[in-house]
Amino acid sequence: MESLIIQVGGRQGRVRELVQSQAESVSIGRGFDNQIVLADPYVAPGQGCFLCDEGCWFFENHDDTNRVLLNNEILQSERVSLKSGDRLVLGRTEIQIFSPDHEIPPTRKLLMSGWLHDDSIGVLAALLALAGCNLLDFSVDYLLEATREFEWKSYVINLLWLNLILLVWSGIWAITGKLARQQYHFGQQLFISTVWLALLILASPVLTYLDFASNGATLSTIIMVLVLFVMVAGLAKFNLYFATSGRYAGVIGMVISVVIVGGLSMVNFLSQEDFDPHAQVSSELYPGFILFGEGESVESYFGEIDTMLKTADQE
Is there a single domain that holds both residue 175 and residue 269?
yes
190-203: pLDDT as tens digits: 888 888 888 888 87
Residue 298 lies in a domain: no
Question: Considering its fold, how many domains does the chain have in total?
Answer: 2
Is there a single domain that holds both residue 86 and residue 118?
no
> Cα separation of 54 and 175, whole Å?
48
Q: Does residue 307 surpass a pLDDT of 60?
A: yes
Q: Which residues contact 26 (CB under 8 A, 6 or more apart)?
A: 4, 6, 19, 35, 36, 49, 50
Domain that holds residue 123: 113-290
Q: Which residues contact 267 (CB under 8 A, 6 or more apart)?
A: none
Is there a single domain that holds both residue 92 and residue 138?
no
Q: Does residue 11 surpass a pLDDT of 60?
A: no
Residue 94 lies in a domain: yes
Residue 312 lies in a domain: no
Is there a single domain that holds both residue 45 and residue 179?
no
Count the neighbouring beta carbons within 10 Å of the beta carbon of residue 240.
23
Q: What is the end-to-end Cα distance of the chain in Å, rounded?
A: 108
Asked if 265 and 225 touch (Cβ cutoff 8 Å), the reply is yes
- Alpha helix segments (H runs only) across 215-248: 218-244
Is there a single domain that holds both residue 94 and residue 153?
no
Is there a single domain that holds both residue 66 and residue 213?
no
Phi, psi of 304 (to 5 degrees): -65, -40
Find the CATH number of the domain harbouring 48: 2.60.200.20
Identify the residue with better confidence: 82 or 305.
82
| 43: confidence class by pLDDT, cuts 50, 70, 90 | very high
Residue 108 lies in a domain: no
Identify the pLDDT of residue 156: 83
Identify the residue with better confidence: 282 or 8.
8
Q: Does residue 30 surpass a pLDDT of 80?
A: yes
Residue 131 lies in a domain: yes
Identify the residue with better confidence: 315 or 250.
250
| 279: confidence class by pLDDT, cuts 50, 70, 90 | low
Identify the pLDDT of residue 227: 84
Least confident of 72-81, 113-122, 187-196, 230-239: 113-122
Asked if 55 and 33 touch (Cβ cutoff 8 Å), the reply is no
Is there a single domain that holds both residue 130 and residue 209?
yes
Is there a single domain that holds both residue 155 and residue 229?
yes
% of the chain beyond a pLDDT of 90: 10
Is there a single domain that holds both residue 180 and residue 283?
yes
Is there a single domain that holds both residue 38 and residue 75?
yes
Residue 104 lies in a domain: no
Residue 106 lies in a domain: no
